[in-house]
Structure 1
Amino acid sequence: MTSYRLTDLIIVILYLSVVAIFGILSGGKQRSIKDYFLGAEKIPWIAVSFSIIAAETSTLTFISIPGLAYKSNFNFLQLAFGFCVGRIAVALILLPKYYQGEISTVYTYLERRFGKNLRTFASIVFLLTRVASDGVRLFAAAIPLYLLLNIEPIFAILIISFIALIYTYTGGMKAIIYVDALQMTIYLGGALLIIFYILNNAGGNIFSDSELINQKLSIINLGISKSFSDFFLQPYTLFSGIVGGAFLSMASHGTDQLIVQRLLAVQNLRKSQLAIITTGVIIVIQFAIFLFIGFLLYAFYGEISLKSDEILPTFIIKELPVGFSGFIIAGIFAAALSTLSGSISSLSSSTMIDLFLNNKKDNLDEKSKLFYSRIFTIIWTIILIASAFFFMNTNKAVVELALSISSFTFGGMLGTFLLGIFNKKANEKIAITAFIISIIVVSLFIIFKVVAWTWYVFIGVAIVMIIGFILSELKKF
């Protein structure tokens, strides 16, 4: 290993060590599973907001979004506008329902509205979807590490997973949120360093090519020049971005335990609403930053024969001066660890509370509950590692792959929550039936490629609401 890489490696190792120690210390001592999974509901809303941004960002944003902009343009930003709209809807429609009475996971609401069977079913769907999509994210996180160390991807995945497990196991949700808030500043700082370096070294030539600017910095795509069928096959149009992005964000931030677990860690509804709406503003700015990096990489390199997800890691390792690349790789790990730790915790909490305790007749003391919770933390870490191994040979941009997997069931999930809120006649049997039909229909849309992935959630929601309405009116369920 050259001294150049050794210096960067030392920076990365120091950073990972600091993260592990900070996570252990900030988590404090947990006396109950409420402390372990919700941080005793005493965490500042701004820390939760930063934590949500860090959790949803993962390595996908750091690596894959610049890769998308490198290969195409800024059309992806239209989706971020929809994300912002969706979070406002979560604050106004879903969160008030969650704060009516005691709730420990987001799926508690489904049991309160429909029954235990639906809560169990929704939790299982969440677990399967989350472990698949976050397996992709974990693999993406390993890309810069195995390039830096020249090791097999498997070992890179194991290293990252071990660090996340340390502070998730010992510090619980409180440690995760505070570490996430720290890591958001690290990876955004790394992104700004990349921008500064390219602009400083490329001079004013980047902005002298008007044709390049018009092509690469194009944001709005109405998509109306296509035929009706082709219009819905475009993933990044203004309409699909606003509508599809809004429903995707409502599902991911309003019905997914990974995010809602954080929103339930603050003191009251108003602060929870502040946290989620603030993330909507930040996420638009953040996507713009990472898309701009993709534009700069294209201006810097021109056309090169690399996979889109390898362009930024290659630039970091080969082009940046010593120290810079080490700090930025640490930023990538910051994004990766925030998502991975949150995923482990949400999977463990849903397994423990929705499945294990909710279906266990015998009462356990808090010490036993904590013991089982930590066992589930270890088990889900192992499962996520296995999932990452499975996705190692994918050729698709990982951000699209992960979002496509999530969208597969998100529509049915969000539709079921909205059915419970807006259809008072619907019962548990109707809700489960509509949920299952939604997943089947969306699967057919995916298999036959009828529409772009950005429409999956909207279609899933529409199917649940329509089926739920029809069955409710028939009154045969």
Structure 2
Amino acid sequence: MFLYVSGGVLAIIIITAATGGGWLGDAAEAGKLTMIVLEGNPLSNNASFVASLLGGMVFAMASHGSDQLVVQRLLACRTKAEAQKAIIVSGVVVFVQFAIFLLVGLALWGYYEHASPESLGLTRDDEIFPLFIIEGLPPGISGLLLAGIIAAAMSTLSSSLSALSSSTVTDVYARFRKAPVTDQEGLKVGRWATIGWGLAFIAPAAVFQSDEGNIVVLALGVAGITYGGLLGAFVFGILNRRARAADANIAFLAAVGVNAFFFVMEKYVTGEVWVAWQWYPLLGVLVTFAVGGTLSLRHPARPKLPAAPGQQHNDQERTPGR
């Protein structure tokens, strides 16, 4: 992280020195420094402030509150307070990181004199920064920055594989195995699960590869397909006292199916955006509650769980006459 973030800052400094800082003025004149966009339909415009604020809020709740990729890191904290601090600091760091690389994008736009990726012999927008790393940075620095980018990608990929492997062993294998799972057996199954999920990553990576546009937006849109059902299933299980696991699973699949329908139709069929990617998680939550809530009507409400013994004792101490 230090290497590639420092490389982003260094790229801004080098481009500013080479262009005299003119790229910032050009970006301002072209309206590329606009932070809040209120024009357009907030339902379908993925640059809309409303979609980014409200939809992005639900997206963050899903990614940082229910995704095992982040939850497994929070579980490594010693206390709940430390986990809360980690989430808050993470938000600040991510904000600064995004701001740096958004500025890098503007600087590159000015450095290459507003040229399109096609005119530079590139096929995608995200190839411009590697091109500058190779052509515009000193040899030693460019090598370190490329290593930092690859390391960041590897750490994200390994975290995903670790989360999926852990869930496979704990929530699937151990659940259906009658005898307790030993550490050695869990390690062995986890390794095979890691290989299996690694191979499974290849298929969607081939399907969702994009020859044009913003790869970050594409990745977030793909993640949003499942995030809504994931967050919805968690909240549904907490709030609905009639909920059963089967209801949540069916509702999750329905939410994923609805979001996947919009994604495929917009990207590969009509070419028109019907629902901005920021709304996918919220849409998934609503579908999960609608489908799961309907299915849960078949069951009686679960009794309210009694308070913990310590909590009961404290309540009794605070109650006069006891």
Query: Under a length normalisation based on structure 1, what TM-score does the superposition of the two structures give?
Result: 0.56
C-alpha change, 1:442 and 1:384, in structure 2 (3 Å) is closer
Matched, 1:215 2:28: no
Quote the Cα distance in structure 2 between the aligned partners of 1:363 and 1:324.
Answer: 51
Change (3 A) 1:390 1:474: closer
Distance 1:273 1:355 in 2: 29
| Shift of residue 411, structure 1, vs aligned partner | 0.6
Cα distance between partner residues in 2 of 1:459 and 1:377: 31
- CA distance in structure 2 between the partners assigned to 1:389 and 1:474 by the alignment: 41
Match of 2:12 in 1: 195
1:286-329 alpha-carbon deviations (Å, 9 max, x no partner): 11111011111111112323121111111111122222211211
| Amino acid aligned to 1:465 | F
1:401 deviation in Å? 1.9
Q: Following the alignment from structure 2 to structure 1, what is the Cα–Cα distance between the partners of residues 259 and 205?
A: 24
How much does 1:450 deviate?
A: 2.2
Query: Residues of 2 paired with 1:406 and 1:418: CA distance?
Result: 18
Task: Find the counterpart in structure 2 of residue 114 from structure 1.
Answer: none
Confirm whether residue 268 of structure 1 aligns to residue 79 of structure 2.
yes
Query: How far does residue 408 in structure 1 lie from its aligned partner after superposition?
Result: 1.0
Alpha-carbon deviation of 1:414? 0.5
Residue in structure 2 matched with residue 117 of structure 1 by the alignment: none
Which amino acid is the alignment partner of residue 403 of structure 1?
L
Secondary structure, aligned partner of 1:236: coil
- Matched residue SS, 1:384: helix
**SS of 2:176 mapped into structure 1:** coil
Aligned counterparts of 1:375 and 1:464: Cα–Cα separation in 2: 32
Deviation (angstroms), 1:278: 1.2
**Paired-residue identity, %:** 40
Q: More deviation in 318-327 or 272-281?
A: 318-327
Distance 1:208 1:472, change over 3 A: closer
2:224 is the alignment partner of 1:400: no
- Per the alignment, do residues 389 and 444 of structure 1 end up closer, same or farther by CA in structure 2, a change over 3 Å counting? closer
Identify the match of residue 163 of structure 2 among 340, 346, 350: 346
Q: Provide the C-alpha distance between the structure 2 equivalents of 1:391 and 1:406, rounded to a whole number of angstroms.
A: 11
Task: Report the secondary structure of 1:201's partner residue.
Answer: helix
Q: Deviations over 1:83-142 (max 9, x none)?
A: xxxxxxxxxxxxxxxxxxxxxxxxxxxxxxxxxxxxxxxxxxxxxxxxxxxxxxxxxxxx
Cα distance change, pair 364–425 in 1 and its aligned pair in 2 (3 A): closer
One-letter amino acid of the structure 2 residue matched with residue 215 of structure 1: G
Aligned to 2:315: none
1:205-226, Cα deviation, whole Å (9 max, x unpaired): 33444x7446111111112xx3
In the alignment, what sits opposite 1:428? 245
| 8 Å contact from structure 2 (residues 63, 227) kept in 1 | yes
Which residue identity lines up with residue 454 of structure 1 in the other structure? Q
In structure 2, how many angstroms separate the alpha carbons of the residues matched to 1:432 and 1:388?
25
Query: Does structure 1 residue 279 correspond to structure 2 residue 90?
Result: yes
* One-letter amino acid of the structure 2 residue matched with residue 216 of structure 1: K
Higher RCO, 1 or 2 (CA under 8 Å, sep at least 6)? Answer: 1
- 1:379-458 matched pairs, under 5 angstroms: 379-385=196-202, 387-389=204-206, 391=208, 394-446=211-263, 447=265, 449-458=273-282
User: How many matched pairs?
Assistant: 288
Matched, 1:464 2:275: no
Change (3 A) 1:391 1:466: closer
Measured in 2, the distance between the counterparts of 1:257 and 1:314 equals 34
Alpha-carbon distance between aligned partners in 2 of 1:384 and 1:468, rounded to the nearest angstrom: 29
Could you tell me whether the CA contact under 8 Å between 1:437 and 1:464 is conserved in 2?
yes
How far has the Cα of 1:246 moved from its partner?
1.0
- Counterpart residue identity of residue 220, structure 1: I
Question: What runs of 5+ residues in structure 1 fail to find an aligned partner?
Answer: 1-183
Question: Which position in structure 1 is the counterpart of 2:47?
Answer: 236
Mapping for residues 77-476 of structure 1, pairs under 5 Å:
184-209=1-26, 212-213=28-29, 215-223=31-39, 226=40, 230-306=41-117, 307-385=124-202, 387-389=204-206, 391=208, 394-446=211-263, 447=265, 449-472=273-296
More helix by share: 1
For structure 2, list consecutive stretches of 5 or more residues without a partner in the other structure.
Answer: 118-123, 267-272, 302-322
Which residue identity does 2:221 align to in structure 1? S
Using a 3 Å threshold, how does the CA distance of structure 1 residues 207 and 429 change in structure 2: closer, same or farther? Answer: closer
Q: Give, as a single letter, the amino acid of the residue that structure 1 aligns with 2:37.
A: N
- C-alpha separation between the residues in 2 aligned to 1:353 and 1:475? 27
Question: How far apart in 1 are the matches of 2:42 and 2:91?
Answer: 27
Deviation string, structure 1 residues 140-170 (Cα, Å, up to 9, x no partner) = xxxxxxxxxxxxxxxxxxxxxxxxxxxxxxx
Gap change, CA 1:265 and 1:288, over 3 Å in 2: same
1:186 and 1:334 in contact (8 A); partners too? no
- RMSD value, Cα: 2.4
The C-alpha deviation readout for 1:7-34, integer Å capped at 9, x for no partner, is: xxxxxxxxxxxxxxxxxxxxxxxxxxxx
Question: CA offsets per residue over residues 222-262 of structure 1, 9 Å max, x none?
Answer: 12xx3xxx431101211111111111111111121111111
CA contact (8 A) 1:425 1:472 kept: yes
Tell me how far apart the structure 2 counterparts of residues 469 and 350 of structure 1 sit (CA, whole Å). 26
